[in-house]
Chains A and B, each alone.
Chain A
Amino acid sequence: MSVSTAWAVPSPLSKYGGAFMSPASTTADNSPLAQVAGPGVDHSASRLSPSSPMFWVGAALLGAVGLAAMSTTVRVGPVRASASVGDA
C-alpha cells in the first residue's frame, strides 16, 4: 500500500549531489579493468572464418583458378603422381 504524504523524503542524490551523481560504485569482483597502455588482445576473426575478409579473397581466387583449370605433377624417384582439375 502506498502512503501519500505531503513531505517528500529526499533521495541521497537529490539532497547531496556530489559523489551520488557518479555511477554507482561496484565491488572489486565485477569492476572492469582500467584502461592501460600496451598491446591489446587481438579480436580479429580467423582467416578460415567467413567473418574474415581473407576467407573471401581466398574463395574468389580458388574460383577464378578453377575456371581456368589447374593441374600439377609430383615426382619423387620412381614414383610419379599427378592431379588435375578441369580440362587440363
Chain B
Amino acid sequence: MPTQVTATTGPVRYMQGIAVPAESVRPPEFFARTRRRTFNEGSQTWNGFGGQNTWELKKSDIIAAAIIRFQGSLTVTPGTGSVATTARWPYDMLKAVRFTANGASNVINASGLKLKLREMQKRDNCNDRGIVNTFGGTSYNQGTLASASESWGVGSNTSALGAGTSNVDLYWVVPIAEDEVDLSGAIFAATSSTDLTIQVDMETAANLFNLTGNGAVSLTGNIQCTTVKYSIPIGSDGQIVVPDLSLFHSYIQSRTTQLGTGGNEVRLIGQGAGKTLLRTSFQVWNGATPAPLAMNATNFGEIAWRYGSNETPDDYLDGDVLRHINERIYNSDIGGIWGFGAIDFAAENAFRDAVDMGTTSDLRLLVTLQNGVTLSNAAIEYVQETIFQAGAGS
C-alpha cells in the first residue's frame, strides 16, 4: 500500500500570514542588498462620480507605499444657474481609499483629504508653505495641504464659479508602510497566496458640487497608481533575504454624528491588546453644505484624549492652542483651512509617547464645541493610525 509522504520543511516564520523561511529574515543583509523600485501599476479611465477604480497590485517585492494620481479636465458651465464647489473638492474626491493585504482587510481605509493630512504629518520634508489655492472664495498660501505640482482646477468651497475648462492634477499617497525608511508595516508581496488590492471609491457629484438652475460640471480623466517597492534579494547562502515584516500598519477613518455643543467624548474604535496608537486626527464638518470648522478658539474649547474613568494625559485649552502645537510639529497649518486637529504620539519619539491600546481602556477623544457654534448636519470625522503585530487584528 502506498504511504503518504510528508514533505519536510525547515522552520518558518509567519509574516502577515505568509510563511517565510526563518533563516531568511535578516534585516541588515536585506537593507544592504535590496533595490528600490518605483513601479507603474497602471493607468485607468476614471470611472466617474460615485464610481470605483480598483488595482490588484503586482505580486512581487515588498510594498512600502502607493501613489494615486488623478489627471483630468474640469469643465464648468453655469448657464443661467450657478456652480459652486463644496469643501469635499478636491481631495475628498476620493471618498474612500481601501487597501487589503494578506487577509487583513482594509488596513488602510480613509478619504483623500485624510491621506493628504497623513502625508503632511509623517514626512518631515513635506510642507505646503507658499502653495496658493482658493478656499471659501479666499486665496490662501498656507495650510492648503497641496503641492506645487498639483492643480485643483477650481477653488474649494467656492461659489459662483465662472464658465471654463481647467486642468485638474491631484496626488494622494497611500501609506502602506508606517515608515518608508525602515519599512515598518511594509507588505510582503512576492507570493501567489497574497491578496493585495487598492480600491478607490469616488465621491458623488452632489457632494462635490452645488448646482442650481441649468448649471453643470463635467470631469473626465485618468487615474493612475504607482507603487514604491523593494526587491527581495538573494543572500550569500542562496536563500531569499527579507526584513522583519511582522507588523501591519493601519490608518482607519471613522465618522459619528453624535455631536452637540459642549464636551463630546468620541470613542476610538478598534482598540485591542497588542496595538499601538501613533496618532489620531479629526475634523468637524458642519453646515447645510458641510464644511470643516476651522480649528480655533471660536469653534473649539477643550480638546483632549482620555482613557479609563478620567485619565487625561494631553489636554489642550482650546482650538487655538492645538492649532499652534500642530503647526509646530508638522510645519503646516493643518487647522487653519481644513480644520484638522491632531494628537500625535509618534512625531517626536514614538518609543516614548506611543499609546499601548491594551492598557488604556475606553480610549476616547474629547472635543468641546463652543456654545456659540450653530450645529447643522454636524459630524466628526476622525482617523486613527496604529501599528501592530500581524494577528492582533486590524
Contact = CB atoms under 8 A, between A and B. Distances in A.
Interface of A: 1-5, 7-12, 14-22, 25, 27
Nearest to B236: A1
Given A7-B31, A9-B27, A22 B356 contact: yes
Interface string B374-394: 000000000000011101100
B31 A9 contact: yes
Contacts of A2: 28-29
Given A12-B184, A12-B247, A16-B354, A3 B29 contact: yes
A20 B182 CA distance: 17
Contact of B350 (A3, A7, A16, A22): A16
Contacts of A8: 28
A39 to B, nearest CB: 28
Interface of B: 26-29, 31-32, 179, 182, 184, 235-237, 243-244, 246-247, 273-278, 346, 350-352, 354-359, 387-389, 391-392
Given A9-B182, A12-B247, A18 B356 contact: yes
B246 A3 contact: no
Contact of A19 (B179, B235, B275): B275
B237 A16 contact: no
B182 A10 contact: yes
A13 B138 CA distance: 46
Contact of A3 (B26, B278, B351): B26
B356 A15 contact: no
Contacts of A4: 28
Contacts of A12: 184, 244, 246-247, 387, 389
A17 B354 contact: yes
B356 A3 contact: no
8 contacts: A12-B244, A12-B247, A12-B387, A16-B276, A16-B354, A17-B351, A25-B273, A25-B392
Given A16-B276, A16-B354, A19-B358, A5 B28 contact: yes
Contacts of B275: 19
A8 B356 CA distance: 24
Given A9-B27, A14-B351, A16-B350, 18 more contacts: A1-B236, A2-B29, A3-B26, A7-B31, A9-B31, A9-B182, A9-B243, A10-B182, A12-B244, A15-B182, A15-B184, A16-B351, A17-B352, A17-B356, A18-B355, A19-B275, A19-B357, A25-B392
A72 to B, nearest CB: 66
A27 B391 CA distance: 9
Contacts of B29: 1-3
B353 to A, nearest CB: 8
- Which A-B residue pairs are the 10 nearest by beta carbons? A18-B276, A18-B354, A9-B27, A17-B351, A3-B29, A19-B356, A18-B356, A1-B236, A19-B276, A25-B274
